[in-house]
Structure 1
Amino acid sequence: MIYSEEHKIVLQNIMHEGALHENRGKKLISKLFGHENTTQVLNEINAKLQPLYMIIKCINCEVTGQSYWVWASTVQDKTARFHPEFSQAELALLRNVYSEIVTSSNGHVSSTWCLNLCSTLNVKLTKANAEEFLYEMVNKKWLACKNGKYYMGVRSIVELLQYFKDTYQDSLHTCSLCKEVLFYGEKCDQCNTITHIHCLKNYAMTRGGLECPNCHYPISQHDHSNLLSLGNGTNSAMDEVDIEMDEVTQPSLRRSKRKRLI
């Protein structure tokens, strides 16, 4: 295997994004290598990264089902480490958001709850600053947001999994199909089995209907519409990324709009 400049460009793009949307990665590889064998290229990059204890992992967003390539360490740490640009107040907020997501029964937390939390932190953080910070966390794929609710982002799932296992071992769930740790999914009303939405959708396509993979109990109509909301895969890469920013408008833009209305 020859590790070329083209491999370096792909790696640099993934490192820069933190989590690169798969469709964008495919287009990049097609442009650089003249083929669409992404598995081969990623395996070649990972072979080079192995001695450095780093890896490019492929993971699906639990909310949208979209695939991302995430740059991560193979040596998992028990502590959650973030870029030093984050303040202690911001990190305190994020850890509380993580705790609420992991320990909740539905795998998400409302934006209102997050902002109200600011007044209870040991370190001061204004709601305006919290809005800015949470927007950045969604933008950088540490969190996902839809309909005013925050979910676990793909980077958090990959890069902080050991931290979650050590801190919230008794609260974590496993997907009934892929057997990976799950933070948000569909729970069977009959046997309480939990499954990733994207895994359940793929399972339903092979079975010809929606049912629990464990006990085969039919999924309700409400859950059926939730699964269909993942889309049919025909959206552009940009449209797919925008789904994860649903209901998230940059706070500074919102404030400027309010000023113009006054």
Structure 2
Amino acid sequence: MELVKRGFLRACKNHSFLSFELIDDILAPLCANHKTPKPASKEAIRALVAEINDTISDLGQSLVFIKYPIKAAEYLVYAKTDATPDSVANTGLTAEECQYFSKLLDKIASEEDCHIAWNGAYNDIIMQASSKPLKKSRMQELLQKWTQMGYFMEVDERIYLGPRSLVELSFYLSSNHGENIKNCTLCKCLVLWDIRCASCNIQFHRECIQTYLQRRDICPSCGNLWTTPIRRSTG
């Protein structure tokens, strides 16, 4: 099983963020090759990930499951626990390209709903005066690379913070963009694009508030009767 764990960790590093479908596609041949039973449920996969985390926590690495409302999906994210915007983008890139990552991250995080129009990623980024301007084609290449790595997500011609940013850069985002990015008061983890109280507009993870409302019918923030529908709209 140790060889399966090592192979799966390598796959997580290569893919950066994985859906359960992709996890299954990776584990099926990996387990078959090493003649090991494949985890048969999401709970078994979570248990496998927990075992891997026990071996990599001292190496500054972590595997984290995160619900991502923009895609209505849950992902397993490979993250470096000491990451900062500067360290994320510095591998093999110029200073100007690293600065572009930080500027783009801050621009998206500064918007109320943490997304921008796709062309805003190229046209409205203000670089430092001493920096050489990047060509639009290079910006597009970098954005595609960072999207594949899970730092950004492109949906319906909008660019959002990606699942890896929400995990790996959560402290930076909540510390520097606290007006838009906050933690769920129930689980203390970062929450975006999820469900809000109709009275105070405070945001919670849908699963967190659903569990809470099984015991009480008031908002844990303002104390008013909870009236926001829990189910996602199908419209």
SS of 1:105 mapped into structure 2: coil
SS of 2:65 mapped into structure 1: strand
Is 1:117 aligned to 2:153, yes or no?
no
Q: Distance in 2 between matches of 1:160 and 1:16?
A: 19
Q: Distance in 1 between matches of 2:26 and 2:141?
A: 31
> What is the aligned residue count?
215
* Aligned residue in 1 for 2:34: none
Is 1:153 aligned to 2:157, yes or no?
no
* Aligned-pair identity (%): 18
Q: Distance in 1 between matches of 2:78 and 2:188?
A: 22
Is 1:96 aligned to 2:96, yes or no?
no
Q: Which moved more, 1:141-150 or 1:160-169?
A: 160-169
SS of 1:81 mapped into structure 2: helix
Contact 1:108/1:184 (<8 A) preserved? no
What does residue range 194-233 of structure 1 map to in structure 2 within 5 Å?
194-196=203-205, 199=207, 203=210, 215-219=225-229, 225=233, 228=234
Contact 1:78/1:162 (<8 A) preserved? no
Is 1:40 aligned to 2:47, yes or no?
yes
Superposition deviation, residue 105 in structure 1: 1.4
SS of 2:153 mapped into structure 1: strand
Is 1:64 aligned to 2:71, yes or no?
yes
Contact 2:198/2:226 (<8 A) preserved? no
Q: Distance in 1 between matches of 2:93 and 2:73?
A: 27
Superposition deviation, residue 151 in structure 1: 0.9
Superposition deviation, residue 143 in structure 1: 0.3
* CA distances 1:140-196 after superposition (whole Å, capped 9, x unpaired): 211011111111111111112222244334542223554421243344453212234
Q: Distance in 1 between matches of 2:98 and 2:174?
A: 19
Superposition deviation, residue 108 in structure 1: 0.9
Query: In proportion to residue count, which structure has more helix?
Result: 1
Q: Distance in 2 between matches of 1:25 and 1:224?
A: 25
Q: Which amino acid aligns with 2:19?
A: H
Question: Which residue of 142, 147, 150 maps to 1:138?
Answer: 147
Superposition deviation, residue 79 in structure 1: 5.3
* Aligned residue in 2 for 1:49: 56
Q: Which amino acid aligns with 2:24?
A: K
Q: Which amino acid aligns with 2:127?
A: L
Distance 1:183 1:4, change over 3 A: same
SS of 2:119 mapped into structure 1: helix
Greater relative contact order: 1 or 2 (C-alpha under 8 angstroms, separation 6 or more)?
1
Contact 2:80/2:168 (<8 A) preserved? yes
Question: Which residue of 77, 87, 111 maps to 1:81?
Answer: 87
SS of 2:87 mapped into structure 1: coil
Q: Distance in 2 between matches of 1:132 and 1:39?
A: 34
Structure 1 runs, 4 residues or longer, greater than 6 Å off: 211-214
TM-score by length of 1: 0.68
Contact 1:59/1:68 (<8 A) preserved? yes
Q: Distance in 2 between matches of 1:41 and 1:218?
A: 36
Superposition deviation, residue 64 in structure 1: 0.8
Superposition deviation, residue 116 in structure 1: 1.1
* Aligned residue in 2 for 1:241: none
Contact 1:10/1:28 (<8 A) preserved? yes
Q: Which moved more, 1:166-175 or 1:104-113?
A: 166-175
What does residue range 221-260 of structure 1 map to in structure 2 within 5 Å?
225=233, 228=234
* Aligned residue in 2 for 1:237: none
Question: Which residue of 163, 169, 172 maps to 1:163?
Answer: 172
* Aligned residue in 2 for 1:192: 201
Contact 1:19/1:69 (<8 A) preserved? yes
Q: Distance in 2 between matches of 1:133 and 1:79?
A: 14
